[in-house]
C-alpha cells in the first residue's frame, strides 16, 4: 500500500513543527490495526498514528507500530523509509518486521531465533576499536571526527538495522525517543548480536505508561562499552 502511493500526490502536513505526517501514514496505520488485531485479538495497540489508550498497559502482548518510519524520506521520494511492526510481550519485543519495499528489503527477527534480511541471516560486526567506527550520519560534529559517516536513511529503524547487517557500527541518540520508532529494530539488532541499551546503559523496556526511552545506543558488541563511556559524560 505504501509503495504504490510513494512518489505520487497525497496530502501531507506537520503534526507539530519538524514532525511531518501524510495521509498514507494514516491509511497504513488503519490497515495494520485491522489485520494485526484480527490476528491477535488479545493484544494491545501502540502506534505513532493512533491515539494512545491506557488499556494497552493491562495487556501481556502489545503491537508496537510505526506505519511509516522515515516519513520525511517518504514524502521527498527517497528510499530511506520502512514499515515497522513489533510484537511486545511483558515489555520485551518477541517478533519484529521492518518492511522497506522501496529498498526491496524485508527484515525479520524472532526472539531467540536470530534475525535475517531477505532470508539471509544477520550478524553485527566484529569491530573492537571505536576509532573509525561507521556511523549513519549526514555530518559529524568536530568532537566525533574519529568516526566515519556512512549513508543515513531518515528512518531510525533502518539505521539501527544497519548495525545488525554490519553496514554500520554505531547508532546513538541522546534525546528521548518513541517506542514505535525502535521496538522492531532493536530486536533485529540484538538478535544479530549487537549491544543494545538506552543512552544511560540500561536495558530497554517497552509498553511503558510514557512510551519513550532516554536515548539509545546500538553498537557492534566490541565497541558498545567504549561508546557508552563516551556518551556517559554527556
Residue 181, annotated ligand binder? yes
Q: Which residues pair with 63 in a beta bridge?
A: 45, 87
pLDDT at 168: 98
- Dist CA 44 CA 57 (whole Å): 8
Q: Could you tell me if 37 and 30 are in contact, meaning their C-beta atoms sit under 8 angstroms apart?
A: no
User: Residue 176 has what pLDDT?
Assistant: 75
142 and 110 in a common domain: no
- Give, for all 234 residues of the chain, the pLDDT tens digit: 999 999 999 999 998 888 899 999 999 999 999 999 999 999 999 999 999 989 999 999 999 999 999 999 999 999 999 999 999 999 999 999 999 999 999 999 999 999 999 999 999 999 999 999 999 999 888 888 899 999 999 999 999 999 999 999 999 998 878 999 999 999 999 999 999 999 889 999 999 999 988 889 999 999 999 999 988 777
Q: Same domain, yes or no, for 58 and 160?
A: no
Same domain, 100 and 50: yes
CATH code for position 84? 3.30.540.10
Q: Are residues 97 and 152 in the same domain?
A: no
Q: Of 72, 93, 121, which residue is a domain's last?
A: 121
- Burial (CB < 10 A; 0-12, 13-18, 19+), residue 213, is buried
Q: Do 7 and 105 lie in a common domain? A: yes
Sheet bearing 195-197, strands edge to edge: 170-178, 212-219, 195-197
Same domain, 22 and 69: yes
| Domain match, 93 and 168 both | no
Report whether 75 belongs to an annotated binding site.
no
pTM of the shown model: 0.96
Both 146 and 174 in one domain: the answer is yes
Give the CATH number for residue 214.
Answer: 3.40.190.80
The number of domains in the chain is: 2
15: Cβ–Cβ under 8 A, 6 or more apart, which residues?
Answer: 21
Both 187 and 83 in a single domain? no
Residue with cell 576499536: 129
Residue 210 annotated as binding site: no
- 48 known ligand binder: yes
Q: What is the 3-state secondary structure (H, E, C) of the chain?
A: CHHHHCCCCCCEEEEECCEEEEHHHHHHHHHHHHHHHHHCCCCEEEECCCCCCHHHHHCCEEEEEEEEECHHHHHCCCCCCEEEEEEEECCEEEEEEEEEHHHCEEEEEECCCCEEECCEECCCCCCCCCCCCEEECCCCCHHHCCCEEECCCCCHHHHHHHHHCCCCCEEEEEEEEEHHHHHHHHHHHHHCCCEEECCCCCCCCCCCCCCEEEEEEEECCCCHHHHHHHHHCC
Query: Of 121, 153, 171, which one is at a domain's C-terminal end?
Result: 121
**Domain-ending residue, one of 88, 121, 154:** 121
Q: Domain containing 180: what range?
A: 134-232
pLDDT of residue 17: 83
Q: What is the pLDDT of residue 203?
A: 94
Amino acid at each position: 500500500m505504501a509503495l504504490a502511493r510513494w512518489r505520487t500526490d497525497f496530502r501531507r502536513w506537520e503534526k507539530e513543527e519538524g514532525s511531518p505526517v501524510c495521509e498514507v501514514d494514516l491509511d497504513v496505520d488503519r490497515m495494520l490495526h485491522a489485520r494485526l488485531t484480527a490476528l491477535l485479538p488479545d493484544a494491545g495497540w501502540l502506534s505513532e498514528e493512533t491515539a494512545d489508550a491506557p488499556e494497552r498497559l493491562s495487556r501481556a502482548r502489545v503491537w508496537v507500530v510505526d506505519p511509516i518510519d522515515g516519513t520525511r524520506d517518504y514524502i521527498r521520494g527517497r528510499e530511506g523509509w520502512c514499515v515497522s511492526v513489533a510484537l511486545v510481550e511483558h515489555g520485551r519485543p518477541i517478533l519484529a518486521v521492518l518492511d522497506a519495499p522501496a529498498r526491496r528489503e524485508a527484515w525479520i527477527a524472532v526472539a531467540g531465533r536470530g534475525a535475517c534480511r531477505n532470508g539471509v541471516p544477520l550478524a553485527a560486526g566484529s569491530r573492537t576499536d571505536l576509532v573509525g567506527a561507521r556511523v549513519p550520519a549526514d555530518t559529524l560534529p568536530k568532537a566525533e571526527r574519529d568516526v566515519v559517516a556512512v549513508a543515513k536513511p531518515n528512518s531510525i529503524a533502518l539505521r539501527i538495522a544497519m548495525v545488525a547487517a554490519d553496514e554500520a557500527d554505531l547508532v546513538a541518540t541522546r534525546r528521548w525517543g518513541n517506542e514505535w520508532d525502535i521496538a522492531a529494530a532493536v530486536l533485529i539488532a540484538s538478535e544479530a548480536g549487537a549491544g543494545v541499551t538506552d543512552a544511560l546503559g540500561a536495558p530497554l523496556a517497552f509498553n511503558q505508561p510514557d512510551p519513550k526511552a532516554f536515548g539509545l545506543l546500538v553498537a557492534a558488541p566490541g565497541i558498545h562499552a567504549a561508546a557508552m563511556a563516551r556518551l556517559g559524560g554527556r
